[in-house]
Amino acid sequence: MLYYLFDFLDKYYDFPGAGMFQYISFRAALAVITSLTISLLFGKSLINYLRRKQVGETVRDLGLQGQKEKQGTPTMGGLIILGAIIIPTLLFAKLNNIYIILILVTTIWLGFIGFLDDYIKVFRNDKKGLAGKFKILGQIVIGIIVGFTLYFHDGVVIREKIAPTSSRSVSTLSEFESTSDHSKKFSRINKKSTKTTIPFFKNNEFDYAILLKPFGEKAAGYAWLIFVPIVILIITAISNGANLTDGIDGLATGTSAIIGVTLGILAWVSGNIVFADYLNIMYLPNTGELTIFVSAFVGACTGFLWYNTFPAQVFMGDTGSLALGGVIAVLAIMIRKELLLPILCGIFIAENLSVIIQVSYFKRTKKKYGEGRRIFLMSPLHHHFQKLGYAEPKIVQRFFIVGIMLAVATIITLKIR
């Protein structure tokens, strides 16, 4: 909204400083500051309100140290995160950008599903919350919306790289080259494509349509039959992974912030023709605008972490965790980096796998030996370390270190091929 106001003032009144709003970096900085301010200033007020309304967490007795002290801690704090993401995005992003529209829809939709789950737990006194099948259904619906939009919408395009005509490397960036010099290396035609980035390969573009090649050339036009289910699977996996990670104070929030910073960098370079040329990656027009959203996302997580670190004053609940995971998944899909998620979201995936392995092994051994056996002392994975006697802050800090290492590994895949 403010972007359009200052754009108007710049065009028609030459208002001093209004032209700054044309720069993504400036608006991203404003988004971070605004989201931090909202989460820090209004977060405390919301926590006090939730406490007065007795919107407290009901903690199951799992035999973990310090667990009983968390009983009654305000939950549904994900509302702080959602507000601190949505408001700055509405203020500083271009709202006619299809990527911004789609990521806002994703945030609100998954936040609403999580809110329903928390509402049933708190106000209906039902510890199970929203039935799992309805959560999955909600994730499938948003997956269908995202998948079909990214596949069919005319605004979702790439620019093909033009093969170099000289021996000079196309990935060499000179400080004297202008944006127009780099634009000559890309086709001027915006092209619909189902290509994505596959890490560690020299020619690191993979086209989902290739999977239908055995069925003939015409079958490539039905690549959405492959693409949409993949989108649904990714959103469901990462969203549930974030939800499982939200088991100890600050873990899901801080991990999401680290992932968000990485996705912000990837979105910015993918939407910038100079850096897309230098890194020899797909140039995705208009994805740079996602940097505004990601900046608000990181600011919201960081601000919420102020109240969510051990001992937590508030829990995000499913209102926050489902939305955070889903947003991360959709951001990666938008910038064609979803195949990097096994690296970048390694913590979320490890949490998911620990539960799957534990349950599968328990059922298998119970059927075979009449008594279920366990691989981990408890799942998800962070509870295993709690059972080993590690303090919550130590577990969280070490998971953060791993998360940063995974983020760095994700970034360097842009050049390691």
Residue 195 β-bridge partners: 207
Q: Over range 69-89, report the average pLDDT.
A: 90
Average pLDDT, the chain: 89
The predicted pLDDT at position 169 comes to 45
Token pair 């998954």: residue: 110
Cis peptide before 380 (omega within 30 of 0): yes
Predicted confidence (pLDDT) per residue in 406-415, tens digit: 999 999 998 8
pLDDT band at residue 67 under the 50/70/90 scheme: low
The region of weakest confidence among 22-36, 97-111, 188-202, 263-277 is 188-202
The predicted pLDDT at position 227 comes to 94
Contacts of 94 (CB under 8 A, 6+ apart): 3, 100, 289
The predicted pLDDT at position 135 comes to 94
pLDDT at 319 over 70: yes
Picking from 254, 387, 399, the residue whose alpha carbon sits closest to that of residue 312 is: 254
Angle subtended at Cα 112 by Cα 126 and Cα 261, rounded to the nearest 5 degrees: 115
pLDDT band at residue 172 under the 50/70/90 scheme: very low
Asked whether 156 and 192 are in contact (CB, 8 A), the reply is yes
pLDDT band at residue 190 under the 50/70/90 scheme: confident
The predicted pLDDT at position 29 comes to 96
* Tokens matching residue 394: 């130590």
The predicted pLDDT at position 181 comes to 64
Q: Over range 173-196, report the average pLDDT.
A: 67
Token pair 């990670």: residue: 245
> How far apart are the C-alpha atoms of 386 and 106, rounded to whole Å?
33
Predicted confidence (pLDDT) per residue in 344-354, tens digit: 999 999 999 99
The predicted pLDDT at position 279 comes to 87
For residue 113, with 0-12 CB atoms within 10 Å meaning exposed, 13-18 middle and 19 or more buried, which class applies?
Answer: buried
pLDDT at 258 over 80: yes
> How far apart are the C-alpha atoms of 48 and 53, rounded to whole Å?
9
Picking from 227, 280, 308, the residue whose alpha carbon sits closest to that of residue 416 is: 280
pLDDT band at residue 122 under the 50/70/90 scheme: confident
Asked whether 248 and 395 are in contact (CB, 8 A), the reply is yes
Percent of the chain whose pLDDT exceeds 70: 92
Q: Over range 278-306, report the average pLDDT.
A: 94
Residue 197 β-bridge partners: 205
pLDDT at 93 over 50: yes
This model's pTM is above 0.85: yes
Task: Pick the most confident of 17-26, 69-78, 123-132, 233-242.
Answer: 233-242
> How far apart are the C-alpha atoms of 258 and 78, rounded to whole Å?
18
Each domain of the chain, given as residue ranges in start order, spans 2-156+221-412
pLDDT at 174 over 70: no
pLDDT at 261 over 60: yes
The predicted pLDDT at position 62 comes to 66
- The more confidently predicted of residues 19 and 127 is 19
> How far apart are the C-alpha atoms of 393 and 399, rounded to whole Å?
10
Asked whether 314 and 125 are in contact (CB, 8 A), the reply is no
The predicted pLDDT at position 170 comes to 42
pLDDT band at residue 59 under the 50/70/90 scheme: low
pLDDT at 363 over 70: yes
The predicted pLDDT at position 58 comes to 67
Percent of the chain whose pLDDT exceeds 90: 62
DSSP symbols for 171-214: T---TT--HHHHHTTEEEEEE---EEE-TT-SS-EEEGGGGGGG
Q: Over range 136-149, report the average pLDDT.
A: 96
Q: Over range 227-240, report the average pLDDT.
A: 96
pLDDT at 176 over 60: no
**3 state SS of 158:** strand
CB-based burial, 125-156: b 16+ in 10 Å, e otherwise: eeeebbeeeebeebbeebbebbbebbbeeeeb
pLDDT at 277 over 90: no
pLDDT at 311 over 80: yes
Angle subtended at Cα 118 by Cα 147 and Cα 65, rounded to the nearest 5 degrees: 115
The predicted pLDDT at position 415 comes to 84
> How far apart are the C-alpha atoms of 141 and 136, rounded to whole Å?
9
